Amino acid sequence: MANTSDAEHDRLAAAVEILDRLVAFDTTSARSNIELIDWVAEYLQSHGIGSTRSAAFEGKANLFATIGPAERGGVILSGPKVVVTRTADGAVHGFSAVCTHQGCTVDVVGHGTIDCPCHGSRFDAATGAVVAGPALRPLPPIGVEVRNGQVFRT
């Protein structure tokens, strides 16, 4: 494969193998999906990822899994457009939730970053600094403090 490293090629081959296996399941809506659900649950478990099955109705199920840190890295408030993060050291940080690229509201906090859905900018959850563009400027800080388990603007 041109222009790919061996590692990239291996990851792509593994992904194709998984896709081949998934599309081989008969997922016709009138039939059971339990065989597919079992396979996915076992695959996730083999990678240390737990899942929860919910039975939709006879012969059908849904599977829920969370990949990545179980704890939420922060919350985004839509009223004042503030994002409040908590870093691993327990410190709480506040920033404007308005992306400095073109003004979209950031929508995800996790894995140490605050992410913008519009063009993919990512900001450091502890400092607001740009981790990935196209944004060039950090998210402006907003003073917050925790009192009695509640977050207040300072």
Q: Least CB distance from residue 96 to ligand FES, whole Å?
A: 12
Question: What is the DSSP annotation of 83-108?
Answer: EEEE-TTS-EEEEESB-TTT-PBP-E
Q: Least CB distance from residue 153 to ligand FES, whole Å?
A: 23
Q: Least CB distance from residue 142 to ligand FES, whole Å?
A: 18
Of 41 and 130, the one with the shorter C-beta distance to ligand FES is: 130
How far apart CA 45 and CA 83 sit, in angstroms, is 33
- Binding interface with ligand FES (CB under 6 A): 99, 101-104, 116, 118-121, 134-135
Q: What Rg value do the Cα atoms of the chain yield, rounded?
A: 21
Of 33 and 100, the one with the shorter C-beta distance to ligand FES is: 100
28-49-76 Cα angle (round to 5): 95
